[in-house]
Structure 1
């Protein structure tokens, strides 16, 4: 295993491998950058670009909860944005090829087509604080941070909610694997997995680790960033810890992604992208 850091000014937060680049959102400066050194100024310093994904149209898409927009940058560098009210945060490509996002302040999920059409679907409860979102088994799955639950929504807007066994778990990151959906319980220092039939299992992590983001792996396990302890953790399909990679005290790891070559990339809010080659 080797770790290489690429310095990036502006508090890297989200990260994705797309279009032969690794892209990161710079949450404190209103920019998006790549590991190769390209920087895209959004002309909106307070836009807070956060979660970033590879879109369905040769572009990366990212949430801008600071100015309530969803941003887009084509692989060749064209920058644009779509207004989406409700403080968009989590983002994924849905089973229908549209972009789906969580709307933190609206207790809702938004759907955005590549052409810019926006539809909003209420979750059906208030104060839930929807966070990250992913696609699994033909539906949208998302963490409800303040409700301590996992939400599931069909593409028609029908919602099912699964309360977590641990009270006050504070789920944030979520990622779909081959046989279930992994999620991070930030406040409970646990990882969890939910199956398509709603069965939930929770797995303890190191004390005061504060897990944040999750990336499911093809073997049924997952990677997690440990925000408080400054580390990257690997779980197998049974929830056992099989590897832990320190990233430095105070490094504040947030988003992570796995590239086509199997390298894991982690956004360190203190100012770098870390590439872990296994």
Structure 2
């Protein structure tokens, strides 16, 4: 476990309707784990993505903002026009902009590197868009957790939807190595595949009620996903063969991150997942750790020194691991041994 964390102090500014820009008051430290704290309490950062020029972009679910962290540590926040839109996933789009889902706002958002936001309403009410990824066709594909559909939006804003037969509460989605889109069914215990033409296949998971969440294409040509209720990481090949890797549970009777009666006793709740060139990186939302899993199944863990509730995760081109810390209200960074950043 890492006991010391590099904490980067930010110069407070008065907030207004304009983007909020903050800068580090001192040089970034080269420790294994660092925290970039957000200026507004309880913003609940949810998801992270690597943008153009090595920038890190993230959603603030309760703060209703999109954040941008520059390589030099400058932090900018952009308010979302729709109030209480609950931004969820964020990805770099094929058009050089960042795209994000607005779960409660029932919209897909687009933000340029300069911070200009455009919103596109989802046609079906109460669709609750959730996961998001760039497809092989130059469009963005997303899950509609409230209506059990998969959505597609072009860079020009044209939207279409595809119904699912078995999947309940589609959650994460990613582009697979086979050129198809792969997604999880949180309440149906399934992983699904949809072709760019809209043909769907759905695969049941071996562990009942495992609550599959986020999914990513791995370095081995398979798809990897988190199983929050099973404390496991799953692997599915493009022909539908599933393998599961179980995490060790937390000690019985452990307290939660804030010292109150444990909401997460006995579970680590693997949540976000990202791929590097040689491994899978997973956040333990309740365990307060990162897991690193090799394609061969070798597992190691990185303690976060008390940082709370890691959620979404991304790996930048230099191998640094970035993750949203919902209850520590910041963005974390881990530099694996041998990383360049």
TM > 0.5 fold call? yes
Corresponding pairs, count: 275
Paired position in structure 1 for 2:58: 24
Q: TM-score, normalised by structure 1?
A: 0.96
**Structure 1 regions of 5+ residues with no counterpart?**
none
Q: How does 1:62-73 map to 2 (within 5 A)?
A: 62-73=100-111
- Please give the per-residue CA displacement for 1:135-188, whole angstroms capped at 9, x wherever unaligned: 111111000010001011111111111100001100001000131000000000
Question: Is 1:130–2:170 an aligned residue pair?
Answer: yes
Among candidates 127, 135, 145, match of residue 104 of structure 1 = 145
SS for the counterpart of 2:229 is: coil
Among candidates 275, 279, 294, match of residue 216 of structure 1 = 275
Which deviates more, 249-258 or 197-206?
A: 249-258
**Structure 2 regions of 5+ residues with no counterpart?**
1-30, 250-266, 337-341
Would you say the 8 A contact 2:87–2:103 is kept in 1? yes
Question: Is 1:184–2:241 an aligned residue pair?
Answer: no
Question: Is 1:58–2:96 an aligned residue pair?
Answer: yes
Would you say the 8 A contact 1:229–1:249 is kept in 2? no
For residues 213 and 143 of structure 1, what CA distance do their matches in structure 2 show? 13
For residues 248 and 146 of structure 1, what CA distance do their matches in structure 2 show? 33
1:277 positional shift: 1.1
Would you say the 8 A contact 2:166–2:188 is kept in 1? no
Paired position in structure 2 for 1:244: 301
Question: Is 1:115–2:156 an aligned residue pair?
Answer: yes
Would you say the 8 A contact 1:182–1:192 is kept in 2? yes
Paired position in structure 2 for 1:15: 48
SS for the counterpart of 2:75 is: coil
Q: How does 1:130-149 map to 2 (within 5 A)?
A: 130-136=170-176, 137-149=178-190
1:97 positional shift: 1.3
1:260 positional shift: 1.7
Question: Is 1:259–2:259 an aligned residue pair?
Answer: no
Give the RMSD, CA atoms, in angstroms. 1.2
For residues 237 and 257 of structure 1, what CA distance do their matches in structure 2 show? 17
Would you say the 8 A contact 1:229–1:250 is kept in 2? no
For residues 217 and 149 of structure 1, what CA distance do their matches in structure 2 show? 25
Moved over 4 A (4+): none
- Please give the per-residue CA displacement for 1:36-58, whole angstroms capped at 9, x wherever unaligned: 21110013331000100001111
Q: 1:52 to 1:125 in 2, by over 3 A?
A: same
Among candidates 33, 36, 43, match of residue 6 of structure 1 = 36
Would you say the 8 A contact 1:174–1:184 is kept in 2? yes
1:248 positional shift: 4.1
Q: How does 1:72-91 map to 2 (within 5 A)?
A: 72-84=110-122, 85=124, 86-91=127-132
Would you say the 8 A contact 1:28–1:45 is kept in 2? no
1:119 positional shift: 0.5
Among candidates 220, 224, 240, match of residue 198 of structure 1 = 240
Q: 1:133 to 1:204 in 2, by over 3 A?
A: same
